[in-house]
């Protein structure tokens, strides 16, 4: 393999792979370095006893057929690969305190009708709030989503879509709670808006940016939730296939120990086995904590990064249960995705909210005949899992799994008796296999901020070094990190003259 490239990407998460494929499609010489044996990071997979498990969530935005927000479809198209998807008619089936049960249907009017039936006195306020989310989405959906750091792009988009741009500028400093309280007074309904945000932003509405909500709350009805046939891991596999088609390279079991610097500029990387590769531009798909604390140990933390750390903290990791269960446990009309919360006060607590995905309801081939997969996960922190002996660690995992299964029995009676297989992942698991600081799934605001305005973009204070993924604008989620990949690739392509 040559030792010099136009661009080196550290990590093969979706943000890193979109960056790499976009640049390879433009003719750049790209190398992706992945420490694990397969691509995808938290969008990867693993196989056990005939079950094909997604590592992370299986609720996937970005596979729509029209508009500009279908970023995963566009990323695959750019490198001439495609992926069959299966439409999901219900985004989430909420099981909430005081027997509040709401399903978010793909059909927008059906969803408004169901939510309005639960809160009839707020029917008009519900419509007004979600319609305003559509205003944000419609602004995004008329423009190509590329780097907000590139003046030429911004100028071009403004002259092409001036009203849409002005509309987005209006919402950049706003959070969802600000908008929701304009229309809604019922405290329980406002809590429902909180968990609508929490299920993908891991924070309540008051500190969830309105731009992100406009995308999520509308795209689920526009492009819809579409599950990739064969599992979420197929997305990364297809992007790698497209990368290679366009001359890009990926190296597995390639753990980057440090980013090489010369005269204050990032010029290459050194692997744990001593191999060195040089690049005109270096892209880190690691978290910003890992990038600046581990890959740049001898470089003082830039002031902008310290400011970012003062504003944001790491989100929790997850306690994950990957279950194989007898088919009889899951009624045939069950929705694929569920959220269980028994007490509003515990929504943000460790093990407070339980997320459930049953991808075999959409793609039965992921499990042996007669069985389903249940992936249940709940927020958790790494601290209680540190310093344990092997026996203590395994015992703590079994005890935690028992608590989760007992709660899931309220939705799926007979779950425990129908168990065929169980694998338990903790924040330690996420840290070890995904190389993420404390197993975190990205940054969340430490306090109420001005919407998306404080989020860092792809360029860093170190010349030649860029960041991509959930630590950059616009944040967490598969479609969001794909956006950051498009933006990063566009910025680098301009910088390199492609």
Tens of pLDDT, residue by residue over 415-442, are 999 999 999 999 999 999 888 999 998 8
Q: What digits encode the pLDDT tens for the residues 343-375?
A: 999 999 999 999 999 999 999 999 999 999 999
% helix, strand, coil for the chain, step of 5: 40, 25, 35
What's the pLDDT band for 232 if we cut at 50, 70, 90? very high
**Alpha-carbon gap, residue 493 to 147, rounded angstroms:** 11
What's the pLDDT band for 1 if we cut at 50, 70, 90? low
Q: Is the pLDDT of residue 405 over 90?
A: yes
Q: What digits encode the pLDDT tens for the residues 385-402?
A: 999 999 999 999 999 999
Per the CB < 8 A criterion, the answer to whether 397 and 389 are in contact is no
**Alpha-carbon gap, residue 86 to 84, rounded angstroms:** 7
Kindly report which listed range (148-157, 189-198, 296-305, 487-496) carries the lowest average pLDDT score.
148-157
Per the CB < 8 A criterion, the answer to whether 246 and 81 are in contact is no
DSSP assignment string, 41-64? GGG-EEEETTEEEESS--------
Per the CB < 8 A criterion, the answer to whether 467 and 284 are in contact is yes
**Alpha-carbon gap, residue 378 to 297, rounded angstroms:** 33
**Alpha-carbon gap, residue 466 to 292, rounded angstroms:** 11
**Alpha-carbon gap, residue 295 to 269, rounded angstroms:** 9
């Amino acid at each position: 393999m040559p030792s010099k490239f136009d661009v080196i990407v550290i990590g093969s998460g979706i943000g890193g792979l979109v960056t790499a494929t976009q640049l390879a499609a433009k003719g750049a010489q790209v190398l992706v370095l992945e420490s694990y044996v397969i691509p995808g990071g938290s969008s990867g997979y693993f196989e056990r006893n005939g079950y094909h498990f997604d590592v992370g969530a299986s609720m996937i935005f970005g596979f729509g057929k029209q508009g500009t927000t279908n970023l995963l479809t566009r990323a695959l198209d750019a490198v001439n690969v495609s992926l069959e998807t299966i439409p999901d008619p219900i985004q989430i089936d909420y099981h909430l305190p005081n027997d509040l049960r709401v399903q978010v249907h793909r059909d927008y009017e059906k969803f408004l009708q169901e939510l309005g039936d639960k809160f009839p006195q707020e029917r008009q306020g519900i419509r007004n709030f979600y319609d305003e989310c559509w205003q944000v989405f419609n602004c995004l959906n008329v423009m190509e989503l590329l780097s907000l750091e590139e003046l030429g792009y911004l100028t071009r988009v403004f002259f092409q879509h001036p009203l849409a741009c002005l509309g987005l500028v209006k919402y950049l400093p706003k959070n969802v709670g600000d908008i929701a309280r304009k229309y809604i007074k019922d405290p329980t309904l406002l809590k429902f808006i909180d968990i609508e945000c929490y299920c993908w932003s891991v924070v309540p509405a008051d500190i969830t940016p309105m731009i992100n909500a406009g995308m999520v709350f509308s795209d689920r009805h526009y492009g819809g939730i579409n599950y990739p046939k064969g599992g979420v891991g197929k997305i990364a596999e297809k992007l790698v296939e497209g990368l290679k088609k366009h001359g890009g390279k990926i190296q597995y079991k390639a753990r980057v120990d440090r980013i090489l610097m010369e005269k204050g500029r990032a010029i290459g990387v050194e692997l744990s086995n001593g191999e060195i590769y040089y690049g005109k531009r270096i892209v880190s798909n690691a978290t910003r904590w890992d990038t600046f604390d581990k890959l740049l140990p001898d470089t003082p933390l830039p002031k902008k990064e310290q400011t970012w750390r003062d504003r944001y903290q790491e989100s929790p990791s997850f306690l994950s249960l990957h279950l194989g269960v007898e088919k009889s446990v899951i009624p045939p009309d069950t929705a694929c995705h569920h959220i269980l919360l028994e007490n509003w006060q515990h929504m943000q607590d460790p093990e407070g909210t339980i997320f459930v995905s049953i991808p075999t309801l959409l793609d039965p081939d992921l499990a042996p005949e007669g069985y389903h997969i249940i992936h249940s996960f709940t927020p958790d922190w790494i601290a209680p899992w540190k310093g344990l002996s092997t026996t203590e660690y395994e015992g703590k995992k079994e005890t935690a799994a028992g608590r989760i299964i007992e709660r899931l029995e309220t939705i799926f009676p007979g779950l425990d008796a129908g168990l065929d297989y169980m694998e338990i992942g903790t924040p330690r698991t996420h840290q070890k296999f995904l190389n993420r600081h404390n197993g975190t799934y990205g940054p969340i605001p430490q306090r109420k901020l001005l919407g998306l305005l404080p989020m860092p973009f792809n360029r860093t204070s170190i010349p030649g070094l860029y960041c991509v993924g959930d630590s950059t604008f616009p944040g967490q989620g598969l479609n969001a990190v794909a956006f950051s990949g498009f933006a990063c690739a566009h910025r680098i392509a301009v910088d390199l003259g492609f």
